[in-house]
Structure 1
Amino acid sequence: MKYIGEHLLPGQLGHFLVVLSLVASLVATIAYFKASNASLPTEHDSWKKLARIAFMIDAGSVLAIFSIIFTLIANHFHEYFYAWNHSDRSLSPKYLLSSIWEGQEGSFLLWTFWHAVIGVVLIRTAKKWEAPVMTVISFAQLCLATMILGLYIFNVKVGSSPFLLTRHQFADAPIFSGPDYLSLPKIHNGNGLNQLLQNYWMVIHPPILFLGFASTIVPFAYSIAGLWKKDFSWTKPVLPWSLFSGGILGLGIMMGAAWAYESLTFGGYWAWDPVENASLVPWLVLVAGIHTLLIYNSTGHSLRATNVFFILAYLLVMYSTYLTRSGDLQDTSVHAFVDSGMNWQLRSWVFIFVVPALALLIARYKKIPHIAKEEEFNSREFWMFIGSLVLFLSAMAIIIPTSFPIFNTLFGTKLVIGEDKEFPYNRIQIFVAVVIGVLTAISQYLKYKNTSKAYFTKKLLWATVAAILISASISYFGHINYNKYGIGFLSAIHLALFAAVYAVVANAAYIYTGLNGKLKAAGASVAHLGFGLLLVGILISSSKKEVLSVNTFNPLNFGPDKPKEGFENLTLFRGVKTDMGTYWATYVKDSVSTNGRMTWFQVDMERKDGKDKFTLYPDLIRNTKGQEGMSNNPDSRHYLHKDIFSYVNHASSVQEGTDTAQFKNHVVKTGDTLFYSEGFMILDSVTVNPHDGKHQFTPRDTAIMANLSVYTKEQQKLSAKPVFYVRNNSAQYILDTLYSQGLAISLTRIADDKHLEISVKESSRLAPFLALKVLQFPFINLVWLGTVLMIAGFVMALIRRIKLL
């Protein structure tokens, strides 16, 4: 059958280029390997020339594949499953671009693209290390090319092709029985980019993060090359690359934290989500390797540790890739991909790097240059090594519990972190913060080899005193009294706060005194200062995080919060000004996007003292792909010293279906009790012809009001006063509605001289409402300022090291 409107040539060209990339990377790997082992210069040059040509073909193929996929998406060629599944006609150009890396195939391609860019730079700069280093990178390209191959070999699927046709993906679907399937709305419009990902962070965060992941291969490749060739002179040329990788990966991680804070509600910027952890762990190990590399370049110590850390950093990147793409974390993380049927390939990829790399490290370990004499206790290298070791142990303390789902899958165990998913990490990392904070403060005041006690004390005395005074003032006047986990953890918070302030003060002082204000040489100090400031921001914003939406009678416990936390969701009825402690909150209105997928809510906030008024616009997004239901998207009010952070857990306006709740009739007399799902009510008395501010009956009317006391399960007492009356020979009713309880109560008839019929309806649809959670993060801007300074320090150090080559 000839299908109308299909564009098959781009896909055919794309398939060809994927195969060409695979073959070219294989040729580059073999040729670079031959060049590395060549004994004659002419043989070396000949193989290297062939390898360069092959790698450039590979790089060109990857760029062309990338361009073709964007062309398919931008032109809405939905005959291709990848274009149909990850985009639609409503997307703006920036989201059409980011649609490329929504799927597994596109993210692997993005990774491959960055490897290609890095490889081209190394061809121009690596000099004598080009052949062995590029052997490793070319082999990595070969492995990545198989991930987008999409071929079956002996009924085994190898990779997943981004050029698969939609009608092949759904081969048995009736929709493809006609030649004009592309004109049908379902195919024509496209499946779309996940609504949650239609955010500017999706455009910039993944490319930066994947550049960080890809760049970790360079220190790894140099380390492998040194072990392979038994040549350990690679430590100076690799230092700028390791600084680049540490800086860009750290930036990518914190971009993700900012995205989580701004747009993806985890109740803040870090939730110890498994995928967040999987990106953090390689960075911690890489930073440990950077510090041991500095030690070796200055003293000759710690080259063994440097090899271990650089090799493990890249292996952990691959293991993290397996974690996030195997589907094993899909029940524990909103970031993780679902199982795509490529688990065997992912495991093979990890295995094929881990086993040879560790085997080579073990085989060459004793041949790595090593100074038998131990470092002096009062030397810079000793404490830098201790700090690196602490970073490595910190990484292990994170990756092991993160891997529990993998252990359970492979070994049938039932390991769990527990209901509280954050504290198991926090109780360990708080002490890591103490140690790293102090070492970050003191290490630069120490000299390599040996430091006199008098010199050290003189240099650090005033910085230490200032840090003690500042941190004590923050602890006392800032009321740092987070006692949720007891006095022990609170004490650790105060210690960590001192260590973080100490890092800031000591490094600022070092820039001024130790370096005489020479900023060109202050990269490390600026990075350390930024890291200290980041720690201060984390400690204060987390320990002083305050729930403003306290609701002591919260009956509408919706969203992810469990019952014990339900009092943190304030129920707001539209148009009703509601007490929220320091603030008045008013749910004003809501509006729906043109495609019906997003609902914005206008919530006016007003301080009770009248000093501040502002409006929040949190929204709910109807998930179009992946998880069903609605996802909340927060909004924040930013101040210099705090943020007011809000999100909607539930709203009546997004409930589907009609209200099917019915009135239930109860015949009662005075003193009787009626039960409902959230409490009970008692008929206290009956008033004939009530005359008050709400009702204006006269003696000539026939009216009865039932006076009921309603007792909630939160032990609150409310009142309801439904009325029955007769006017113009017609029975009339005046309902009384308790919106907070979802109750409508009616007095429907007089049964006899002692009994009344009370009708009760329970429904969450009685009035438009939303369940709002509002948090206050004090000094959250220190987190972002610290991040900027830390990354700036990496960049400054990188520029300086490049100039020193």
Structure 2
Amino acid sequence: MSVPYLGDLFIFGSFITVILSLICYFLAWRGKDHLLQLGRNFFYAATAFVSGAIIILLYLILTHDFTVAYVFSYSSTDLPLGFLISSLWGGQEGTFLLWIFFVVLMALVMIRTAGSFEKGNMVFVNLFLLSIIIILLKKSPFELMPVLRTEGAGLNPLLQNFWMQIHPPIMFVGFAGVVFPFAFAMTGLVEKKYTQWAESARRWTMFTWIALGTALVMGGYWAYVTLGWGGFWAWDPVENSSFIPWIFLAAQVHVLFINRVRKGMMRFSLWMVSLSFWSVLYGTFLTRSGVLADFSVHSFVDLGLNNFLVGGTIFFVLLGSFLIFYRWKDISPNPSFSKITSKSYLVTLGVLVLFIGGFLTLIGTSAPLLTRLAEEPSAVGLDYYFVTMTPIAIAVMLFIGLFPAFRWNNGVSKPKLLIIGGSVFTLTVATLLITGFTYSLMYLLFFGTAAMALINNSFVLIESFRQNKFIPGYLAHIGIALAMVGAGLSAGFETKQTLRLPMNEQVQAMGYNLKFTQMVDNPKGFDAYVEIDADEDHFIAKLPHEFPKNQEGVMRKPHVEKYLTKDVYVAPVAMEQTGQNDPSLLEFSKGETKTIDKYSITFNDYDLSSHGESGMTTAGAKLTITYDDKSEDITPVIAVSGDSVLTEHASFDYENGHVTIAGIKPETGSVFLKFMGDFIPKTETAQNILVIELSKKPLINLFWFGTILCFLSGALSMRKRFKRTESAQTEYIDVENLKKEAVS
């Protein structure tokens, strides 16, 4: 039995065992408890099959088995070990397999921890697994090549980056994680456990939010250091497909506090959990259906899976909606707040703002699909996101800034924070205006509210440390505020300039002396080196230029010189040459005659009579060389075998002349000929000119540091939950104070 066939067998085995596990868990849920252990055993078998399939695919990649189409398409023998492993998630089939692999691993944890929710949860988890495994049966990662290949096409050069070795797996950990809060919610609806499910799903929600957020930041950093456009977030539809469930989960994390304090927003909580899950399914359809092929640099090609992707999404949307509406009247509509002067009210407003932000992003991301239904498909521009999301960010910063000053139920607990926050806001706006800040009112409000949020939450965090009572939630808010300030400052106060750097000539710009010193060839292309000097800065920027195998064009990578207070960003734009065109390289159509010096050259036709060695395709160009009423017929030959190209020049009897075929243009039938000899006119020496974009990004490190603080706080919050019982207290909630407030 061949190894690829064994991989297919494992996928089919997972399909059968997931179905059997689903049936047993469903019957156990209906009261036949003796089938519970059998359901577990079938799921353990499914886990073994899925794990075996992913191990086999990794083995095929590491052993360069190019008989498998997936291995051929996404790997090659020249890739180092780390990038070979990355090939596992280089294409759609591999990512689907990775997705269900993480789901089955997490489900093993849930089986041990879910308690009474296990039976119902596993019904919904198995349903999800079934929907993805069906796709793998349709498009298997173990499909064989129609012809034998000795070398692979290789991994996309853009994915050959350290961050792409860890970003996709963490992203799919997040995608796998959204399944479980949804399963808890649906089980809670069926079993009428309208409050218990939220308590049980709390850790899963926080874990998934951290995983998705971490992956988003890693993806942003990869774009920043690899793509060369100078930013880390472009509102690309594929980026958004991960951001949307993350922002819905952020809303849900805060709804859980309202659930606990006031038993409020229970209905809304169900919608937020469901939207997080549905948006992952919908994003999967958008990115893998080919809908975004013309609008995103990240999208996958269409593998003919649209019906399966749409069907799975519709099934879970209908299932979740039916259960929510079916139990709607039974769910207590407790108010989420009693007074508008309370933490509960601010959290409620914040949750609604996050929901609106996610919905607006969803609309913008769906533009190619929505416009396709009415007319020519088109995407929204960046202006859409600036107009819609800037007010969202301002509102979030405002609520975060006001939050520490209020009690949960009613009243101001820290009036000094209102004074401090207002003063910080006013001082920030005034400082920006005095220093000549020329951006819009929205930007002033953005920086003012972000500064207020940063200072107020810092005061409370320091106070909590003094009381030996660390509260991770405030650290998360500080991280968000820092990230917003860093993003705003690096974009709003960025300086940049496009420069042309002739080789070995010094150019001055933006306080720097720049010199393009050398070009060094390498197997993938060449590296351009630029020396950059200033009073405080001195570094050499290495700018790789790669010519991807089996792809057109050149891939350029930027150089990022990092300092504590800024980044100096050097992005290559183009490589130009001065001097005349090469007179020895000419393009001929059939029957065309051209002249070099005293020689007349006619391209008569192709000679396809010679077939060369086995496996080689050969073509000759029939030429007539005329000089002083004399003519000579010659035929240079080109031979192609796989990725190898061989040329055989043809000589003629004038001035050491000879000619080779430089290339053929199949669409027009023309040929490119390279002539050599003493008769070729001399040209001036060409000079290389490197075109770059130089930019300075002030305080961008605040963004990266802020995101680290934010997700670190989430991890600390989860750690605290594992160290205490769920009923003791939450990050923001002091139970004794709540009792006092209730009395008053």
Go from structure 1 to structure 2 and tell me whether the alpha carbon gap of 1:208 and 1:349 turns closer, same or farther (over 3 Å shift): same
The separation in 1 between residues aligned to 2:459 and 2:708, in whole angstroms, is 19
Q: Which residue of structure 2 aligns with residue 557 of structure 1?
A: none
8 Å contact kept, 1:467–1:505:
no
Aligned residue runs from structure 1 range 244-255, under 5 A: 244-255=207-218
Q: What is the letter of the counterpart of residue 697 of structure 2?
A: F
Deviation at 1:333, TM superposition (A): 0.6
* Residue among 438, 441, 460 paired with 1:481: 438
* Residue among 445, 460, 467 paired with 2:405: 445
Go from structure 1 to structure 2 and tell me whether the alpha carbon gap of 1:765 and 1:492 turns closer, same or farther (over 3 Å shift): farther
* Residue among 497, 507, 512 paired with 1:578: 507
Go from structure 1 to structure 2 and tell me whether the alpha carbon gap of 1:127 and 1:764 turns closer, same or farther (over 3 Å shift): farther
Q: What is the letter of the counterpart of residue 395 of structure 1?
A: G
Query: Alignment partner of 1:130: what SS?
Result: helix
Query: Alignment partner of 2:696: what SS?
Result: strand
* Residue among 219, 228, 240 paired with 2:181: 219
Deviation at 1:514, TM superposition (A): 4.9
8 Å contact kept, 2:336–2:344:
no
The separation in 2 between residues aligned to 1:653 and 1:524, in whole angstroms, is 56
8 Å contact kept, 2:528–2:544:
yes
8 Å contact kept, 1:619–1:647:
no
What is the TM-score normalised by the length of structure 2?
0.81
Tell me if 1:637 matches 2:561.
Answer: yes
Aligned residue runs from structure 1 range 706-745, under 5 A: none
The separation in 1 between residues aligned to 2:574 and 2:420, in whole angstroms, is 53
Go from structure 1 to structure 2 and tell me whether the alpha carbon gap of 1:611 and 1:514 turns closer, same or farther (over 3 Å shift): closer
Q: Which residue of structure 2 aligns with residue 263 of structure 1?
A: 226
Greater CA drift, 313-322 or 510-519: 510-519
Go from structure 1 to structure 2 and tell me whether the alpha carbon gap of 1:305 and 1:659 turns closer, same or farther (over 3 Å shift): farther
Q: What is the letter of the counterpart of residue 546 of structure 1?
A: T
Go from structure 1 to structure 2 and tell me whether the alpha carbon gap of 1:766 and 1:438 turns closer, same or farther (over 3 Å shift): same
Q: What is the letter of the counterpart of residue 367 of structure 1?
A: D
* Residue among 26, 34, 50 paired with 2:27: 34
8 Å contact kept, 2:262–2:335:
no
What is the TM-score normalised by the length of structure 1?
0.75
Aligned residue runs from structure 1 range 133-144, under 5 A: 133-144=121-132
Q: Which residue of structure 2 aligns with residue 785 of structure 1?
A: 705
Aligned residue runs from structure 1 range 72-221, under 5 A: 72-149=60-137, 159-167=138-146, 176=147, 181=148, 187-221=149-183
Q: What is the letter of the counterpart of residue 445 of structure 2?
A: L
Query: Alignment partner of 2:718: what SS?
Result: helix
Q: What is the letter of the counterpart of residue 612 of structure 1?
A: D
Q: What is the letter of the counterpart of residue 9 of structure 1?
A: S
Q: Which residue of structure 1 aligns with residue 531 of structure 2?
A: 604
Tell me if 1:457 matches 2:415.
Answer: yes
The separation in 2 between residues aligned to 1:267 and 1:624, in whole angstroms, is 25
8 Å contact kept, 1:574–1:769:
yes
Query: Alignment partner of 2:229: what SS?
Result: coil
Aligned residue runs from structure 1 range 167-566, under 5 A: 167=146, 176=147, 181=148, 187-232=149-194, 233-371=196-334, 375-409=338-372, 411-414=373-376, 416-417=378-379, 421-451=381-411, 453=412, 455-470=413-428, 472-473=430-431, 475-476=432-433, 479-482=436-439, 490-514=440-464, 516-518=466-468, 521-547=470-496, 549=497
* Residue among 764, 768, 783 paired with 2:688: 768
Q: Which residue of structure 2 aligns with residue 719 of structure 1?
A: none
Q: What is the letter of the counterpart of residue 798 of structure 1?
A: M
* Residue among 725, 728, 731 paired with 1:804: 725
Deviation at 1:592, TM superposition (A): 2.8
8 Å contact kept, 1:224–1:357:
yes
The separation in 2 between residues aligned to 1:25 and 1:268, in whole angstroms, is 43
Q: What is the letter of the counterpart of residue 272 of structure 1?
A: W
Could you list the runs of 4 or more consecutive aligned residues of structure 1 that deviate by over 6 angstroms after TM superposition? 659-662
Go from structure 1 to structure 2 and tell me whether the alpha carbon gap of 1:296 and 1:245 turns closer, same or farther (over 3 Å shift): same
Q: Which residue of structure 2 aligns with residue 621 of structure 1?
A: 546
Q: Which residue of structure 2 aligns with residue 707 of structure 1?
A: none
The separation in 2 between residues aligned to 1:440 and 1:362, in whole angstroms, is 33
The separation in 2 between residues aligned to 1:492 and 1:148, in whole angstroms, is 48
The separation in 2 between residues aligned to 1:658 and 1:354, in whole angstroms, is 62
The separation in 1 between residues aligned to 2:256 and 2:583, in whole angstroms, is 67
8 Å contact kept, 2:577–2:686:
no
CA deviations on 1:706-757 (whole Å, 9 max, x unpaired) are xxxxxxxxxxxxxxxxxxxxxxxxxxxxxxxxxxxxxxxxxxxxxxxxxxxx
The separation in 2 between residues aligned to 1:659 and 1:787, in whole angstroms, is 56
Deviation at 1:423, TM superposition (A): 2.1
Q: Which residue of structure 2 aligns with residue 723 of structure 1?
A: none
Tell me if 1:58 matches 2:46.
Answer: yes
Q: Which residue of structure 1 aligns with residue 55 of structure 2?
A: 67
Q: What is the letter of the counterpart of residue 338 of structure 1?
A: V
Query: Alignment partner of 2:508: what SS?
Result: strand
Query: Alignment partner of 1:120: what SS?
Result: helix
Q: What is the letter of the counterpart of residue 141 of structure 2?
A: P
CA deviations on 1:221-247 (whole Å, 9 max, x unpaired) are 111111122212112121111111111
Q: Kindly tell me the number of residue pairs found equivalent between the two proteins.
A: 628
Structure 1 residues not aligned, in runs of 5+: 1-7, 150-158, 168-175, 182-186, 483-489, 550-568, 663-760
Go from structure 1 to structure 2 and tell me whether the alpha carbon gap of 1:658 and 1:309 turns closer, same or farther (over 3 Å shift): farther
The separation in 1 between residues aligned to 2:25 and 2:341, in whole angstroms, is 45
The separation in 2 between residues aligned to 1:499 and 1:344, in whole angstroms, is 46
Q: What is the letter of the counterpart of residue 768 of structure 1?
A: N
Deviation at 1:412, TM superposition (A): 3.1
8 Å contact kept, 2:428–2:447:
no
CA deviations on 1:491-511 (whole Å, 9 max, x unpaired) are 111111111111111111111
Structure 2 residues not aligned, in runs of 5+: 587-680, 727-744
Deviation at 1:631, TM superposition (A): 2.4
The separation in 2 between residues aligned to 1:491 and 1:114, in whole angstroms, is 45
CA deviations on 1:454-501 (whole Å, 9 max, x unpaired) are x3424443344345435644x25765433xxxxxxx211111111111
Q: What is the letter of the counterpart of residue 573 of structure 1?
A: P
CA deviations on 1:367-400 (whole Å, 9 max, x unpaired) are 2222268632112112101101101111111111
Deviation at 1:659, TM superposition (A): 6.5
The separation in 1 between residues aligned to 2:293 and 2:310, in whole angstroms, is 17
Go from structure 1 to structure 2 and tell me whether the alpha carbon gap of 1:654 and 1:391 turns closer, same or farther (over 3 Å shift): farther
Q: What is the letter of the counterpart of residue 263 of structure 1?
A: T
CA deviations on 1:112-140 (whole Å, 9 max, x unpaired) are 11101110000110011111111111111
8 Å contact kept, 2:578–2:687:
no
Tell me if 1:592 matches 2:527.
Answer: no
Q: Which residue of structure 1 aligns with residue 604 of structure 2?
A: none
8 Å contact kept, 1:522–1:796:
no
Deviation at 1:661, TM superposition (A): 9.4
Query: Alignment partner of 1:189: what SS?
Result: coil
Q: What is the letter of the counterpart of residue 506 of structure 1?
A: N
The separation in 2 between residues aligned to 1:199 and 1:350, in whole angstroms, is 32
Query: Alignment partner of 2:571: what SS?
Result: strand
Query: Alignment partner of 1:89: what SS?
Result: coil
8 Å contact kept, 1:471–1:501:
no
8 Å contact kept, 2:259–2:265:
yes
The separation in 2 between residues aligned to 1:652 and 1:592, in whole angstroms, is 16
The separation in 2 between residues aligned to 1:314 and 1:264, in whole angstroms, is 30
The separation in 1 between residues aligned to 2:548 and 2:471, in whole angstroms, is 47
The separation in 2 between residues aligned to 1:479 and 1:102, in whole angstroms, is 47
Q: Which residue of structure 2 aligns with residue 735 of structure 1?
A: none
